[in-house]
Chains A and B, each alone.
Chain A
Amino acid sequence: MTTTTKIPLRKRLALNLFRRYRKNETLIHNLNYIFWECTLRCNLNCLHCGSECRKEAVVKDMPAADFLRAINEVREIVNPNHTMIVLTGGEALLRKDLEQVGLSLYKRGFPWGFVTNGMLLDKQRLDALLNAGLRAVTVSLDGLEQSHNWLRQSDKSFDNAYNAIKHLSTAPNLRYDVVTCVHQRNFDELEQIKELLINAGVKEWRVFTIIPIGRAKEDDDLQLSPAAFKALFEFIKHTRKEGRIQISYGCEGFLGNYEREVRDYFFFCRAGINIASVLADGSISACPDLRENFIQGNIYQDNFKDVWENKYQVFRDKSWAKTGICADCEFFKHCEGNSIHLRDEKTGELKFCHIKRLEEAEKNN
């Protein structure tokens, strides 16, 4: 079993080399991934939602032309073919003009994709989206039927998500993955979920833990216990060794000796370094989870290109994050204060530390 803080020499050397790589990437800060929060409307009411979405959104959907104007501004500084645009929400498929938006992006040379709960992704819609140049899809499946429906608060959500996955598995040349948020109610189902996904033809599976933001802040049951948290990493490690499905832990959190054991790359929060987002109200941010003090501008007042080139200091110099529990942490040089979406948007304090949670499990063992 892996011990989180006991990092062997070879990996320590690699982590130190990677620090230099990360510093160079920060200096280059090449924009190559753009999220668009294209709607705050949603057809579900998930218990763990980190978004500000509601069934009846307060903020109206942004006209596609406004987003495309912002994209035209950054075209000068990016290679469109190497810049992925991901439409998120709310539920992106609620937008009836998604195909037209996608085709406009495709014609500008941008690969594009979307994140969905699968409720509206039938074969006909998928074909229409593929004809508009769709390149990537992420579908959420948060457990077997009962636990998925519980988290998603809908009796039909599992069937719809699973059917969407089956449609995606038949689409040629489309990259898709399934994302699962692991919590106390689906933790014991991981082996069964794995078999379900393999049988459905899924190649890539991303596993997240639920972080205390949005609605998830109000429900402690959504957080894994320290022991389950560690057991999850052991599960990912062993599943990767099996090689039957490409499983990985989500992008967040420095994981000590679990680095490169549970995902293909060393931890690096690329928010504001390679990733930008345009939120529903026009705000320019990094990942869509980042609001309030992390907002860098607004497409209705600022030029997107200028914002990318001249702002984002809070993402590119993270010395400010060496406070609170990070102040005297030996891993800060590798972690730089964890993923920015895990820091409080007003105070900057860290809300969750992966290393501390894993250490807690190892101490209790």
Chain B
Amino acid sequence: MKVKTKLLKAHNVAIAKLLAILGFTSCLCAGCAKYGVPEAEYIVNGQVVSKETLEPIENIRVSTYDGYMFTDNEGNYQVSYLGGDKGATVCVEFRDTADQYRDLDALIEFRDGEKIKTFNVGMTPNDNDN
């Protein structure tokens, strides 16, 4: 039974990755309440660039459950998340409020002891397929 559950969970991780490739969130738990008593601050930082031109993108809204900020004129961002002290999975969302780039979501895993991670992002121009 436990093996079957593990396989199903692994399958769902794979599905989450495929959804992310399609440009949809891998943050499948979004909307759930945030669990656990916060004991540690996790920080994600990095730079957002255009996948097409590799130029930095300003004013991309980067958010976690705990707040958001906009990238500066060099595409830099830093967001944080409060979670348990035994590691956390932080869902980071990248949104272009000008609607020129596709939404992008990422799950950043912090294992025991890790508190800060750099995550550089290339955003895909919007193909206006809606």
Taking a contact as CB atoms under 8 Å apart, the answer to whether B19 and A265 are in contact is: no
Cβ contacts under 8 Å, A32 to chain B:
32, 35
Known: A24-B11, A257-B130. A265 touches B35 (CB 8 A): no
B18 at the interface (CB under 8 A from A): yes
Q: Which of B23-51 contact A (CB under 8 A)?
A: 23-25, 27-38
Interface residue tally of chain B, by bracket? 35 or more
**Stretch in B59-67, B106-114, B115-123 with 4+ CB within 8 Å of A:** B59-67
Known: A2-B130, A133-B37, A175-B33. A241 touches B97 (CB 8 A): yes
**Best-surrounded residue of A18, A136, A248 (most CB of chain B within 10 A):** A18
Cβ contacts under 8 Å, A24 to chain B:
8-9, 11-12, 15
A28 at the interface (CB under 8 A from B): yes
Taking a contact as CB atoms under 8 Å apart, the answer to whether A243 and B25 are in contact is: no
B52 at the interface (CB under 8 A from A): no
Known: A81-B84, A111-B37, A135-B37. A21 touches B31 (CB 8 A): no
Taking a contact as CB atoms under 8 Å apart, the answer to whether B27 and A265 are in contact is: yes
State in angstroms the CA–CA spacing of A14 and B97 once bound together.
23
State in angstroms the CA–CA spacing of A20 and B28 once bound together.
13
Which DSSP category, helix, strand, loop or mixed, fits chain A's interface?
Answer: mixed
A246 at the interface (CB under 8 A from B): yes
Binary interface encoding of chain A residues 107-139 relative to chain B, with 1 for a CB under 8 A from any of its CBs, else 0: 000010100000000000000000001011000
Q: Which residue of B lies closest to A13 (CB)?
A: B22
B5 at the interface (CB under 8 A from A): yes
Taking a contact as CB atoms under 8 Å apart, the answer to whether A173 and B15 are in contact is: no
A96 at the interface (CB under 8 A from B): no
State in angstroms the CA–CA spacing of A133 and B16 once bound together.
32
A105 CB to nearest B CB, Å: 11
Q: Which of A80-117 contact B (CB under 8 A)?
A: 81-84, 86, 106, 111, 113
Taking a contact as CB atoms under 8 Å apart, the answer to whether A243 and B68 are in contact is: yes
State in angstroms the CA–CA spacing of A260 and B93 once bound together.
13
Q: Which of A10-55 contact B (CB under 8 A)?
A: 10-11, 13-14, 17-18, 20-21, 24-25, 27-28, 32-33
Taking a contact as CB atoms under 8 Å apart, the answer to whether A20 and B15 are in contact is: yes
Taking a contact as CB atoms under 8 Å apart, the answer to whether B15 and A21 are in contact is: yes
Taking a contact as CB atoms under 8 Å apart, the answer to whether A14 and B82 are in contact is: no
State in angstroms the CA–CA spacing of A10 and B102 once bound together.
12
A65 at the interface (CB under 8 A from B): no
Taking a contact as CB atoms under 8 Å apart, the answer to whether A18 and B15 are in contact is: yes
A194 at the interface (CB under 8 A from B): no
B48 CB to nearest A CB, Å: 14
Cβ contacts under 8 Å, B29 to chain A:
265
Known: A21-B16, A28-B8. A136 touches B33 (CB 8 A): yes
B66 CB to nearest A CB, Å: 8
Cβ contacts under 8 Å, B36 to chain A:
81-82, 111
State in angstroms the CA–CA spacing of A148 and B90 once bound together.
36
A189 at the interface (CB under 8 A from B): no
Cβ contacts under 8 Å, A133 to chain B:
37
State in angstroms the CA–CA spacing of A33 and B24 once bound together.
25
A251 at the interface (CB under 8 A from B): yes
Binary interface encoding of chain B residues 69-112 relative to chain A, with 1 for a CB under 8 A from any of its CBs, else 0: 00000000000001010000000010101010000000000000
Taking a contact as CB atoms under 8 Å apart, the answer to whether A27 and B18 are in contact is: no
Taking a contact as CB atoms under 8 Å apart, the answer to whether A203 and B31 are in contact is: no
Taking a contact as CB atoms under 8 Å apart, the answer to whether B35 and A84 are in contact is: yes
Q: Which residue of A lies closest to B102 (CB)?
A: A10
Cβ contacts under 8 Å, A58 to chain B:
none
A185 at the interface (CB under 8 A from B): no
State in angstroms the CA–CA spacing of A18 and B31 once bound together.
16
State in angstroms the CA–CA spacing of A14 and B16 once bound together.
10
**Best-surrounded residue of A8, A21, A81 (most CB of chain B within 10 A):** A21
State in angstroms the CA–CA spacing of A246 and B25 once bound together.
16
A242 at the interface (CB under 8 A from B): yes
What are 14 pairs between A and B in contact, CB < 8 Å? A10-B129, A14-B22, A18-B19, A20-B15, A28-B8, A32-B35, A81-B84, A111-B33, A243-B61, A243-B95, A251-B31, A263-B30, A264-B25, A266-B24
Q: Which residues of B contact A (CB under 8 A)?
A: 4-5, 8-9, 11-12, 15-16, 18-19, 22-25, 27-38, 61, 63, 65, 67-68, 82, 84, 93, 95, 97, 99, 129-130
Q: A24-B9, A243-B97, A251-B31 are in contact. List 5 more A-B contacts (CB 8 A).
A: A14-B22, A20-B15, A84-B35, A175-B34, A260-B25
Considering the complex of A and B, which 6 residue pairs feature the smallest CB-CB distances, nearest first? Answer: A264-B30, A243-B61, A24-B8, A84-B33, A8-B129, A14-B24
